[in-house]
A and B are shown apart, each in its own frame.
Chain A
Amino acid sequence: MRYISNTPAQQKEMLGVIGATSIEDLLVRIPAKARLSRPLNLPSAMAEMDLVRHLRGIAAQNASAEDFACFLGAGSYDHSVPSPINHLISRGEFFTAYTPYQPEASQGTLRSIFEYQTMIAELTGMDVANASLYDGGSSLAEGVLMAHAVTGRDGIVLSRGVNPLYRQVVETYVEGPSLRITSAPLADGITDGDALKKAVTEKTAAVVVQYPNFFGCLEDVKGAAEVAHAAGALLIVVADPVNLGLLEPPGALGADLVVGEGQGLGVPMSFGGPNLGVFAAKQELVRRMPGRLVGATVDLDGRRGFVLTLQTREQHIRREKATSNICTNVALCALMATIYVSIMGKRGIRKVGELSVAKAHYAATAFSKVPGVRLRFGSPFFKEFTLQLPKAPDRVVKRLAKERILAGLPLKPFDRQYKDCLLVAVTEKRTRDEIDAYAAALAVAVA
């Protein structure tokens, strides 16, 4: 497709065909008072080198994880992105954002998606993963809709430990089918088991927990699975696959669906997207899955090949009865994840988890030694934890930004009861020097 604007001569020709003399003729039906009578107030065009200088100046006002020690998480994490990823995804054969329109002609792309699906299935401990969805929030919302379709029930029990932004996405998605959401409260940072039992009924389609949850704490996934299954509901676990080299896979703990944000698998944070929606399920649920699925098969001569499979679930065949209106995947981000997992291998991913956990616990100990600062919850945590501060967290964040430290996420906008809390994430990239500098700056900020 060409993006070349038409010439005055071409415009005149086109206008002539429809019997108009000027573009102004096409606009006469718009009332004069609704139209702008002067040109837009825009600066004149810049030369390329001036424009680059101008944009660089604007970009420099951002606080990038390149220049700051990043302790921000809450769904997007500053994990290391090995340099081969960028080189490989830039190859012309791979550089596309979508599943191809003539998929079987793009065997390389299908192969890479097939490998991605296999890796996600292995990490999550599930039988089958799709080619990816947009992000963690939309993956969860699709999982909720799928649980409704599978069970024919309308109730969704969402733990308050699930990322509040994901909970908002779910609320938006379930408005159409009128599903009822019940919140399961927390006790000391994890889903309250007794309250969960009370919330789950014979009308519950799915129980949703996050592991580790929004506050960083490790949920009792097995316990939640028992409660869900006893009521005939599905268990949906929101998980970050980069943690699953070390944590037990949700599939082994009783999850029926595993969804989540896969950005940690070699996808740069990019100020919040594009992200990678992970979606994996048990085999018996495969025909209800949303999104694209790549399958391996053999051709007439018995040679291995790849196809888009089970397409009868999808909109172009099943129309309004499709399992979902997702018709693509985030192919480029899924490719980044595939390359990442290939480079890191089993041991590498496990090491990322081990280093993140060790550094997070070192940081939590150091920060809670600062007078007035304590860990908000006593439950075990993974790479993220919740601090309670003696001073307003948003002010503390501003103070530490002056030391080139992104201190974390103040929780006040999400829940008033955590107005004195700060969510802190620590990945394998953080150094002891950075953590010690944070502790020192925190001591000054809250003194």
Chain B
Amino acid sequence: MAQVPADLKYTREHEWAKVEGDRARIGITAFAQEQLGDVVFVELPKVGAKVTAAQTFGVVESVKAVSDLFAPLTGEVVETNAELVKKPETVNSDPYGQGWMIVVKLANPKELDGLLSAADYEQLVAGAGH
């Protein structure tokens, strides 16, 4: 069973969001990286770009698949993880830590209510997988 930290919010597309004041740090879940396999490339938006909840903000590519990244929340990108360009495998080794992808300044914090709790997400992935 993949790890699902209790202090994060989740999407049905397997992204997580961690609220940090008026911002949220965003990445993909341990379950997502397990399903993808070895991540070889991550394409992220530029700082200053606007992302919209439930719309794509980037692409993650593994040796066997390519997936769109969906923004859990709407806002402006204020930070991106440049380390992932050099070491995309960090997404596999530390999906909730060093493998974070972007930080978004929230345009509409109410959107957080629409995201899944850790318990809800755990239930979702329990019914998925191989």
Contact = CB atoms under 8 A, between A and B. Distances in A.
B79 interface: no
B43 A312 contact: no
B61 interface: yes
Nearest to B56: A321
B65 A317 contact: yes
A318 interface: yes
Interface in B81-107: none
A287 B44 CA distance: 13
A287 B43 contact: yes
B119 interface: no
Contacts of A317: 65-66
B107 to A, nearest CB: 20
Contacts of A318: 66
A324 B66 CA distance: 15
Nearest to A318: B66
A312 to B, nearest CB: 4
11 contacts: A287-B41, A287-B43, A312-B41, A312-B61, A312-B65, A312-B66, A317-B65, A317-B66, A318-B66, A321-B66, A321-B68
A136 to B, nearest CB: 30
Interface string B41-81: 10100000000000000000100011010000000000000
A260 B68 CA distance: 32
A159 to B, nearest CB: 30
Interface in A358-373: none
Contacts of B68: 321
Interface string A306-329: 000000100001100100000000
Interface string B8-44: 0000000000000000000000000000000001010
A317 B41 CA distance: 15
B42 to A, nearest CB: 11
A287 B43 CA distance: 10
Interface string A206-218: 0000000000000
A287 B59 CA distance: 11
A318 B56 CA distance: 15
A335 to B, nearest CB: 29
Nearest to A317: B66
Given A312-B65, A321-B66, 9 more contacts: A287-B41, A287-B43, A312-B41, A312-B61, A312-B66, A317-B65, A317-B66, A318-B66, A321-B68
Contacts of B66: 312, 317-318, 321
What are the 5 tightest A-B residue pairs by CB atom distance, in nearest-first order? A312-B66, A312-B61, A318-B66, A317-B66, A317-B65
| Most interface-central of A287, A312, A318, A321 (chain B CB within 10 A) | A312
Contacts of B43: 287
Interface string A260-293: 0000000000000000000000000001000000
Contacts of B65: 312, 317
A312 B65 CA distance: 7
Contacts of A287: 41, 43
Contacts of B41: 287, 312
Interface in A170-206: none
A307 to B, nearest CB: 12
B91 to A, nearest CB: 15
Contacts of B61: 312
A321 B61 CA distance: 13
Interface in A313-362: 317-318, 321
A126 B115 CA distance: 46
Contacts of A312: 41, 61, 65-66
| Most interface-central of B41, B43, B61, B65 (chain A CB within 10 A) | B61
Contacts of A321: 66, 68
A321 B60 CA distance: 13
A321 B66 CA distance: 10
Nearest to A288: B43
B96 to A, nearest CB: 25
B62 to A, nearest CB: 8
A195 B38 CA distance: 50
A423 to B, nearest CB: 44
